[in-house]
Structures are given as C-alpha cells and as structure tokens.
Amino acid sequence: MLKTDYVNVEMLKKFAPRPGARDLLPEISPKAQVALMCRILFAEGWDDHIAGHITVRQPDGTILTNPWELAWDEITADDIVTLDAEGNVLDSDWNITPAIGLHLQLHKARSDIHVVIHNHPKWSGIWACLQEVPPIYDQAGAYCGVDLPIYNEYLGTLDNNEACASLIEALGENAKWALLAQHGALVVGKDLRQAHLRAATLEWRCRRAYEVRLAGGAEPLPNKVVEEVSLPDPNGFPFLWEAMARRELRRDPKVLGS
C-alpha cells in the first residue's frame, strides 16, 4: 500500500500559536460565543430543526444555553439563557428543553466538562441508527482519535434522571463523544474550541464512512495511523474555531446581539 504523509503531525504538535500576534476576532461576550457556536455547528450539520442543546459552564458556575423555541441558525447573543447549576432560568423569558437535565448531570459528574452538545445530525445519526462505529478513512476524520462509544440503551428522550445517569456512567471518565443509538450524537469538551473540533470531526468521520460504504467499501486507516494524525486535544485545532466564527459574523453580524 502506498505510504502517505497526510500532514507533518509532529511539527503541528510542537507548534505553539503566538499569543497576540493578530486579533483573530473582536471582543465577544460569553453569550455571543455560545450563539456563534450554535451558528457554526448548524453549518456543520447539527441542524435538526429546533432540536438540540448546547450548554457552556461559566467560571462562576452558571451555565449558558440556547432556548428551546429557536433553531440554531437564528440564535443571537440576546437569546442565550443563563441557568444556575440546578437548571433554574436566571435571566430570560425563553423556555429551555426538558432534556437539559443530561447536561446538568454531566457538568456535575465531570469537572473537566465545560461544554456539552447534543443534537441529531444527519451523518452521525445514520451510524447511531445502524448502531455501528464508523471506520476512519481520512485525515479529517482522524483528528480526535479512534474511540467512539455507542450508548445503546435508548429508552426515549433524555429527560429522565435515571436514563441520564445511566448514560453518564456508560461514558465513563474520559469519553469525548458518543453515538446515542437510534437517537443522535453527544459531544463534550473543556472549551468551545475543543468541543467544536470534536463535533465537526464526528460528523465528517460519519459522512465519509457512509460515502465509502455506498461506494463499495475500502480499507480504513489503521489505528496507529489515526493516533499519529490526531491533533493534540488541549489546543483543539489552532485558529479553526475563530475562522468559523468569522464566517458566521460575515453572514450575519447581528449574531452578536444588541
């Protein structure tokens, strides 16, 4: 088989972005960052109508989330809801999804998780329905490593405390994402940059795997190559989240709110 370099991964892992070299984004409030994340992930395919929820824990312990009534591509900073740690709304007239309990329990169970994302994307949703782990066929699908658990005890919407606790236990202490059988996808992260890379990589990996299957199949990347190609998670993908945020700002500057 032809050996391929993909990228010089060792060089990338040693690469340290120069802080302050350029302003990649204007100053953006925490609520505007969450609104931008909704828009960015909508463009990545996390776009099942008004379904789905993102929570971002703040340094003071409060949690920012998107409202239930709005689709992710119309949300602005003014729409983002602030919750306390128990899920009580502090500053909005919007509703929040009953399934927010899963996010609240995840934030409590794992101190490393500050961002939780759930939706029913098209491509990862296909593999969730197949209850199969999609193989990795290319570099972009390998950015976040090999392991991808499937939670296959789906009993309905995740608005039941017992069901949420079961899922959190199944995820364990280190899982970065999961497919929810016959349901959708779940991604967690320490910050927006890391969570975005995981969400985008998961959907890309699932799409490519399904396309390859339809084309008749191929040999996936060996796990060893995937681990060599995967990016250092503490940094996410340098500059990627900011680039996607700028794209959304060009599309609709009103996302920053009033």
Question: Which CATH number is 181's domain given?
Answer: 3.40.225.10
- CB of 61 closer than 8 Å to CB of 88: no
Banded model confidence at residue 11, pLDDT cuts 50, 70, 90: very low
Select the more confidently predicted residue: 146 or 23: 146
- For residue 230, what are the domain limits? 28-256
Is 22 inside a domain boundary? no
Is 19 inside a domain boundary? no
Is 5 inside a domain boundary? no
One DSSP character per residue, 16-52 reads ---TTSS--S----HHHHHHHHHHHHHHHT---TT--
What is the pLDDT at residue 99? 86
In the DSSP assignment, the letter for residue 235 is G
- CB of 187 closer than 8 Å to CB of 117: yes
Is 239 inside a domain boundary? yes
Q: How, if at all, do strands 150-151 and 63-65 pair?
A: unpaired
> Is the alpha carbon torsion for 168, 60, 246, 7 positive or negative?
negative
What is the pLDDT at residue 190? 94
For residues 111-137, give the mean pLDDT: 96
Q: Whole-angstrom Cα distance, residue 152 to residue 253?
A: 41
Domains held by the chain: number: 1
Is 16 inside a domain boundary? no
- Amino acid identity of 66? N
Q: Which tokens belong to 144?
A: 């976040």
What is the pLDDT at residue 12? 46
Is 18 inside a domain boundary? no
Is 112 inside a domain boundary? yes
Where would I find the H helices in the chain?
9-14, 30-44, 100-109, 122-130, 161-171, 192-214, 223-229, 240-251
Tokens 């009534």 label which residue?
69
Secondary structure of residue 89 in the 3-state scheme: strand
Given a cut of 70, is residue 161 above it in pLDDT? no
For residues 50-63, give the mean pLDDT: 97
Is 38 inside a domain boundary? yes
Instruction: Give me Rg for the CA atoms of the chain.
Output: 18
Banded model confidence at residue 235, pLDDT cuts 50, 70, 90: low
Banded model confidence at residue 130, pLDDT cuts 50, 70, 90: very high
Tokens 């296909």 label which residue?
126
Q: Whole-angstrom Cα distance, residue 223 to residue 212?
A: 18
- Range in 20-24, 55-59, 67-71 with the lowest mean pLDDT: 20-24
What is the pLDDT at residue 6? 44
Q: Whole-angstrom Cα distance, residue 76 to residue 35?
A: 5
